[in-house]
């Protein structure tokens, strides 16, 4: 695999820094927001900066917060789906598929038997 450009390998429009790679690429932004909405987590993560801060453990007392372990699972499910399809695009040369990404999130949600309605109380 060649890294001939500092630009995002997906959108080719922005420098691919860590934030862009994980969260801020235009394709991933839509995937995060749609998945957060489906998992009823938009109250807790109304912006992607809050997702980023959660991932970086930069929220105050991040690991000590009672809700951390509960939220780590659904956020991890979304991150894993986005990560999977990022590499399918970069390595396999497939076009980005929002629906495939969301389908993976739904399937994981089902497999894990998570009831995301419980998160309403975590705002
Ligand atoms: Zn991009």
Q: Separation of 15 CA from ligand 1 center, angstroms?
A: 8
- Is 1 a residue whose pLDDT tops 60? no
Residues 15-19, mean pLDDT to the nearest whole number = 95
Per-residue pLDDT band at 123 (split at 50, 70, 90): very low
C-beta neighbour count of 37 within 10 angstroms: 10
What is the Å distance from ligand 1's center to 120 Cα?
Answer: 31
Spell out the domain ranges in the chain: 18-122
Number of Cβ within 10 Å of residue 104's Cβ equals 20
Helices (H) and strands (E) in the chain, counts: 5, 0
Mean pLDDT over 112-122 rounds to: 63
Residue 63 CA, ligand 1 centroid: distance in Å: 30
Dist CA 123 CA 119 (whole Å): 8
Q: How far is the CA of 37 from the centre of ligand 1 (A)?
A: 21
Query: What is d(CA 116, CA 70) in angstroms, rounded to the nearest whole number?
Result: 10
Dist. CA 44–CA 22, nearest whole Å: 19
Report the SS3 class of residue 22.
helix
Choice among 11-20, 66-75, 107-116 with the minimum mean pLDDT: 107-116
pLDDT in tens, 25-62: 999 999 999 999 999 999 999 999 999 999 999 988 88
What mean pLDDT is reported for the chain?
89
């Amino acid at each position: 695999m060649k890294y001939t450009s500092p630009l995002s390998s997906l959108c080719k429009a922005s420098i691919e820094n860590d934030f862009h790679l994980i969260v801020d690429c235009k394709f991933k932004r839509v995937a995060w927001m749609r998945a957060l909405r489906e998992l009823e987590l938009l109250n807790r993560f109304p912006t992607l900066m809050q997702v980023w801060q959660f991932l970086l453990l930069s929220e105050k007392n991040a690991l000590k917060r009672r809700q951390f372990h509960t939220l780590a699972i659904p956020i991890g499910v979304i991150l894993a789906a986005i990560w999977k399809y990022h590499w399918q695009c970069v390595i396999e040369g497939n076009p980005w598929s929002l629906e495939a990404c969301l389908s993976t999130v739904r399937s994981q949600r089902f497999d894990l038997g998570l009831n995301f309605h419980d998160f309403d109380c975590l705002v």
